[in-house]
């Protein structure tokens, strides 16, 4: 089992086990993935390097880890040959373990991954003509039990660590062959002129839309995204990263201030009655409060709109009136908004059906006529259960009654 500490999370009754920043390993070595440069420097100093050396080595190692993607200290060619075994004795460069990799007929890829202490989680890569999006998980399971979401039927096992979150991005770069060529041992520097070789589908965007609620794991998500955005690290622009929340209002401002990525909000309904039913967190943070937090979101502008996700559930939230009310609300709060209409992706035992394509089209037209862009998101990777809301591993399942009970308790808390 991982060494964990207990931390209480808003809206959550029981404390959720959270792995420490450094998960102790049986061999006593420390996994550097997930650690910021300063923390690496500290560890080098604690292991005996003088402050100047520790700083220099941390800078070099950081670059090799996050910019070049090496997984072996021997490949760090600008570090003295004698220094490399010193590093290998004390540190490791980890990746989440791949349990299974699947390829959809539409090019979507899904990986079932495993933490060092045996918990399974998933990530998905979705290639498009002009971009490649990695859908990253933040938790194993989710406590929030949205009625239409398969992940919500999983028992939350724990938050993922920064290393396990950034590790997904690194693993995707490994799998897509997207590190600069020179990162591979044996190739000389002359060959390293930014040849990002992939199968033509580069990883250009990241969405925190895999398993879990990222704002219930704020610190770890923040730590991981800082490494993704670091110019000396994975160097992805914050404009290419989107965090999706089901509406954890108290953490939204900090998300904008401290992480600064694009925001997506899982709205899904425009009346209290319906949203209470399908997104139970609404009983705690209602629609008005949520939209006000969106209006106040730091950095949102017409150039950087907030995405409102709206899952289309047949005869539930998909009428013309709902569409008009959606436009009215978004205008009332003067939101720089775009709406993403997601046809419901069914899963066995789900209580809902997908709206008909005609209904989705009509809904989209009404929102569009209201002056707000409302594209319909084409489901991707359905044949490998990689589509939105389908991510669920074989981890422990909860009964419906147990989930309802927990949702009620979470809301009262
Ligand atoms: N917990 C966060 C992010 C993960 S869910 C959130 O809820 O926003 C990512 C998106 O998939 C959310 O908009 C979610 O509502 C949507 N989703 C979940 N289950 C779905 C399903 N079965 N069909 C379509 N979209 C779904
Ligand atoms: Fe959790 Fe998001 Fe699924 Fe709701 S939609 S249960 S918040 S993962």
Mapping DSSP to helix (H, G, I), strand (E, B) and coil, where does residue 282 land? Answer: helix
Residues 6+ apart with CB under 8 A from 404: 145
Q: Write the residue with the smallest CA distance to atom 18 of ligand 1.
A: 389
pLDDT tens sequence for the chain (413 residues) = 343 444 444 444 344 555 556 677 788 899 999 999 999 999 999 999 999 999 999 999 999 999 999 999 999 999 999 999 999 999 999 999 999 999 999 889 999 999 988 899 999 999 988 889 999 999 999 999 999 999 888 888 799 999 999 999 999 999 988 887 543 343 333 333 333 333 444 899 999 999 999 999 999 999 999 999 999 999 999 999 999 999 999 999 999 999 999 999 999 999 999 999 999 999 999 999 999 999 999 999 999 999 999 999 999 999 999 999 999 999 999 999 999 999 999 888 899 999 999 999 999 999 999 999 999 998 888 787 777 666 666 544 555 566 666 667 666 65
Q: Which residue has the tokens 């907030």?
A: 306
18 alpha carbon – ligand 1 mean position (Å): 23
Contact present, 163 and 31 (Cβ < 8 Å): yes
Q: Which residues are catalytic?
A: 122, 388
Spatial neighbors of 122 by CB under 8 A, at least 6 apart, are 110, 111, 112, 113, 137, 210, 211, 386, 391, 393
Q: Is the distance from CB of 216 to CB of 413 less than 8 angstroms?
A: no
Looking at ligand 2, which atom is closest to the CA of residue 151?
3
Please give the backbone phi and psi of residue 5, each rounded to the nearest 5 degrees, phi first. -115, 160
Atom in ligand 1 nearest the alpha carbon of residue 211: 4
Q: How far apart are CA 137 and CA 161, in angstroms?
A: 11
The finding on whether 245 has its CB within 6 A of some atom of ligand 1 is: yes
Regarding the beta carbon of 246 and ligand 1, being less than 6 Å apart is answered yes
Q: Which atom of ligand 2 is nearest to the CA of 152?
A: 6
CA neighbor of 27 nearest in space, from 104, 73, 88: 88
Tell me the C-alpha to C-alpha distance, in Å, between residue 205 and each of 90, 126, 309, 362: 34, 10, 17, 30
Distance CA 101, CA 111 (A): 4
Residues near ligand 2 with C-beta < 6 Å? 142, 144-146, 149, 151-152, 212-213, 246, 266
| 44: Cα within 13 Å, side-chain hemisphere | 27
Task: In whole angstroms, give the CA distance from residue 260 to residue 159.
Answer: 21
Paired tokens of 304: 């950087």
Measure the CA–CA gap between 56 and 52, rounded to whole angstroms: 6
Q: Quote the ligand 1 centre to 209 CA distance (angstroms).
A: 7
Instruction: Report the separation in Å between the CA atom of 310 and the middle of ligand 2, taken as the mean of its atom positions.
Output: 13
Return the CATH architecture of domain 30-92: Orthogonal Bundle (1.10)
Q: Which residue's C-alpha comes closest to atom 26 of ligand 1?
A: 389
Any ligand 1 atom below 6 A from CB of 148: yes
- Regarding the beta carbon of 279 and ligand 1, being less than 6 Å apart is answered no
Instruction: Supply the residue whose CA is at minimum distance from atom 4 of ligand 2.
Output: 146
Residue with tokens 């998909």: 318
Rounded to an integer, what distance in angstroms lies between the CA atom of residue 411 and that of residue 413? 5
Task: Identify the CATH homologous superfamily for domain 97-412.
Answer: Aldolase class I (3.20.20.70)
Cα angle, residue 145 at apex, residues 143 and 149 outer, rounded to 5°: 120
C-alpha closest to that of 156 among 216, 113, 223: 216
Domain ranges within the chain, ordered by starting residue: 30-92, 97-412
């Amino acid at each position: 089992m991982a060494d964990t500490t207990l931390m209480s999370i808003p809206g959550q009754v029981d404390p959720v086990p959270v792995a420490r920043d450094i998960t102790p390993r049986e061999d006593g070595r420390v996994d550097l993935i997930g650690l910021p440069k300063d923390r690496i420097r500290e560890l080098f100093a604690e292991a005996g390097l003088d402050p100047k050396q520790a700083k220099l080595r941390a800078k070099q190692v950081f670059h090799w880890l996050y910019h070049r993607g090496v997984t072996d200290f021997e490949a760090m060619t600008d570090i003295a040959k004698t220094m490399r075994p010193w590093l290998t004795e004390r540190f490791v460069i980890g990746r989440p373990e791949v349990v299974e990799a699947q390829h959809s007929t539409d090019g979507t890829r899904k990986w079932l991954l495993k933490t060092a202490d045996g918990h399974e989680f998933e990530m998905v890569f979705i290639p498009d003509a002009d971009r490649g999006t990695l859908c990253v998980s933040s938790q194993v399971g989710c406590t929030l039990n949205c009625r239409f979401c398969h992940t919500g039927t999983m028992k939350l096992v724990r938050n993922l660590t920064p290393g396990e979150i950034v590790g997904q991005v690194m693993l995707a770069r490994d799998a897509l062959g997207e590190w600069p060529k020179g990162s591979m041992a044996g190739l000389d520097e002359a060959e390293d002129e930014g040849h990002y070789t992939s199968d033509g589908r580069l990883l250009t965007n990241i969405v925190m839309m895999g398993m879990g609620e990222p704002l219930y794991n704020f610190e770890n998500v923040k730590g991981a995204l800082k490494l993704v955005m670091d110019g000396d690290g994975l160097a992805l622009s914050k404009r290419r990263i989107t965090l999706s929340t089901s509406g954890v209002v108290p953490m939204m401002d900090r998300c904008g201030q401290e992480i600064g990525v694009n925001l997506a909000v899982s709205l899904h309904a425009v009346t209290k009655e319906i949203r209470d039913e399908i997104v139970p967190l609404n009983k705690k943070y209602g629609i008005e409060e949520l939209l006000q937090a969106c209006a106040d979101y730091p950095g949102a502008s017409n150039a950087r709109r907030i995405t409102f996700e709206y899952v289309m559930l047949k005869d539930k939230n998909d009428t013309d009136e709902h569409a008009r009310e959606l436009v009215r609300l978004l205008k009332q709060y003067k939101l720089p908004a775009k709406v993403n209409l997601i046809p419901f992706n069914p899963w066995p035992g789900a209580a809902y059906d997908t709206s008909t394509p005609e209904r989705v089209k009509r809904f989209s037209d009404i929102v569009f006529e209201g002056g707000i862009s409302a594209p319909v998101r084409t489901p991707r990777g359905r044949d490998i259960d990689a589509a939105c809301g389908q991510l669920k591993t074989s981890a422990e399942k909860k009964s419906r009654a147990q989930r309802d009970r927990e949702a009620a308790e979470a809301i009262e808390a």
